[in-house]
Amino acid sequence: MSGYLLEMKGIVKEFDGVRALNGIDIKIKPGECVGLCGENGAGKSTLMKVLSAVYPHGSWDGEILWQDQPLRAQSIRETEAAGIIIIHQELMLVPELSVTENIFLGNEITLPGGRMNYPAMNRRAEQMLAELKLTDVNVVLPVMNYGGGHQQLIEIAKALNKDAKLLILDEPSASLTSAEIAVLLEIIRGLKAKGVACVYISHKLDEVAAICDTIAVIRDGQHIATTPMAELDVNRIIAQMVGREMNQLYPKQDHELGEVIFEARNVTCYDVDKPERKRVDNVSFKVRKGEILGIAGLVGAGRTELVSALFGAYPGRCEAEVWLHGEKIDTGTPLKAIRAGFALVPEDRKQHGIVRDLNVGQNITLSVLDSFSKFTRIDGEAELAAVHQQIGRLGLKTASPFLPITSLSGGNQQKAVLSKMLLTKPQVLILDEPTRGVDVGAKYEIYKLMFELAKQGMAIIMVSSELAEVLGISDRVLVMGEGKLRGDFVNHELTQEILMTAALDQSH
């Protein structure tokens, strides 16, 4: 016996040729709580999905030993049976079912004939929620009657109801109040005492420091360090998370900053499902001609919501005042925004960027099809000329513009989406995570293009979760947290630590 409950050795996971995980090693003893830390997109969630067989054995390389036996699970059912229970970042409750039904989903207590034993289940559910100090919940009411914090605790109760040997908590405290968090941490301490191991993933590093025995840091899919918490403090964890060297990745070019051309005033966005909750809370900012403005922050800080609202693409209710060249303009729909001189390259390339059934060229010209048409007929030659020009300008690698867009790599798909929006000749270009899932070469070319566009006088707003990228590209950086503006920094002697500290700010 090695004494370890779980050993993950050399885990490698690729998506379409992009390495999300590159040789991760994690060891966990019974009763140990491991904090898994890393920036957005570092690979934390991917690693946990490998462990819980959301990605089945065979779709990744490496080895998992569970109680010294190789674990080759094909489905989450098998890992749950072994005792690995995951609480996902996104809530996995069925809103229409009752609290009890959710807690016992897939694990029901039955009477002969398959009938649900409601009395027994309700009693057990009430007991479990009482342990979580959740006394104001009626277990027979639908889950949708309760708010995000309560739902999170119900989700945790559901996990505890299963016989867990290893509990994985992925951002469990995102929607909890500090009192609820204190209860949660107390519960985890109780579990540890019973010998249950935990993996705790959170951006709230003070919680991690309070509960974890060991900290494992991953960055860009690489295992950076595993250190006992006793030898660390929050600042040193941040240093490990971001500690990356600035090198020649950012082809910085000098560009002149002109006058302020764009201004957003009092942008407020309300949650689509819960209209009383603000996703963006009264944010205002300005951008100058030829300026690259970076917007940093953690997942859920409201950055994507902010830029969607400016472009008229936010799905819920929002208020935004947009000024261009000192004039107030209407950007209520993407069409109006584009006509006014805005362009948005969205965060989610597959859902909001590419059109799968159109070929590369057709994707590029989708935004400006009218300009190639005479009496509604598309002038194929003129269209193709524009496509070839864009392909050359962005260095888009495709054998032909007639190939399906899906045959291109992520980086080249991104260039196609970028081309599409540049053809509208925008004055303000909004890029939401422009280099997510893009390989290093294409990243470099996208950065180079951004500097050229800025030099020509375009105002560029870039949302990015990669702090190094924000620092490498931006003239100025806004930091957002929980829907609010947490900082506005000129990019001079700015460090990732300063940005991370602003983003993590717990002063509220």
Partner 1 sequence: MNPLKIKQLFTQYKILALLFAIALIWAFFSWKTEGGFISPRNLSNLMRQMAITGILACGMVFVIIAGEIDLSVGSLLGLLGGVAAVLDVSHHLPLPLIIVLVLACGLVLGIFNGYLVAYAGIPSFIVGLGGMLAYRGIVLGVTDGTTVAPVSDQMIFLGQGYLTPAMGVGLGVVLFVLAGLLTWRQRASLALHSLPVAPLWRDGVKLAAIAVVLFAFVRTLNSYEGIPLPVLLLLVLLGGFSYMATQTVFGRRIYAVGSNMEATRLSGVNVRAVKLWIFGLMGLMCALAGLINTARLAAGSPSAGTAGELDVIAACFIGGTSMRGGSGTVYGALIGALVMASLDNGMSMLDVDSYWQMIVKGFILTLAVWGDVVTRSGRRG
Tell me the CB-side half-sphere exposure of residue 403, using CA atoms within 13 A: 13
Stretch that binds partner 1, among 70-78, 93-101, 294-302, 367-375 (CB under 8 A): 367-375
**Which helix or strand (DSSP H or E) is residue 64 part of?**
strand 61-66
> 411-440 mask for partner 1 (x: CB under 8 A)?
---------xx--x----------------
Cβ pair 317, 336 in contact under 8 A: no
Strand 476-481 vs strand 292-297: parallel, antiparallel, or unpaired?
parallel
Does 306 bind partner 1 (CB under 8 A)? Our answer is: no
Does 344 bind partner 1 (CB under 8 A)? Our answer is: yes
Does 370 bind partner 1 (CB under 8 A)? Our answer is: yes
> 371-390 mask for partner 1 (x: CB under 8 A)?
--x--xxx-x---x------
Structure tokens at 375: 């009496």
Q: How far is the CB of 4 from partner 1 (least distance, A)?
A: 37
Does 116 bind partner 1 (CB under 8 A)? Our answer is: no
Does 329 bind partner 1 (CB under 8 A)? Our answer is: no
Choice between 135 and 375, CB closer to partner 1 = 375
* Side chain identity, residue 414: Q
Structure tokens at 484: 């609010």
Structure tokens at 501: 């500290």
CB burial class (10 A; 0-12, 13-18, 19+) of residue 16? exposed
**Which backbone phi and psi does 475 adopt, to 5 degrees?**
-85, -30
Choice between 241 and 463, CB closer to partner 1 = 463
Cα distance between residue 181 and residue 162, in whole Å: 21
Strand 260-270 vs strand 278-288: parallel, antiparallel, or unpaired?
antiparallel
What's the distance, CA 149 to chain centroid?
A: 20
Stretch that binds partner 1, among 92-100, 196-204, 229-237, 332-340 (CB under 8 A): 332-340
Stretch that binds partner 1, among 3-11, 80-88, 230-238, 355-363 (CB under 8 A): 355-363
* Side chain identity, residue 318: C
Choice between 152 and 398, CB closer to partner 1 = 398
Select from 74, 127, 138, 406 the one that contacts partner 1 (CB under 8 A): 406
Helix (H, G, I), strand (E, B) or coil at 435: coil
CB atoms within 10 A of CB 388: 13
DSSP state of 195: T
Select from 69, 135, 400, 507 the one that contacts partner 1 (CB under 8 A): 400
Select from 41, 353, 472, 487 the one that contacts partner 1 (CB under 8 A): 353
Select from 63, 95, 195, 402 the one that contacts partner 1 (CB under 8 A): 402
Does 492 bind partner 1 (CB under 8 A)? Our answer is: no
CB burial class (10 A; 0-12, 13-18, 19+) of residue 210? middle
Choice between 150 and 349, CB closer to partner 1 = 349
Does 356 bind partner 1 (CB under 8 A)? Our answer is: yes
Residues that bind partner 1 (CB under 8 A): 311, 313, 333-335, 337-339, 344, 346, 351-358, 362, 366-367, 369-370, 373, 376-378, 380, 384, 400, 402, 406, 420-421, 424
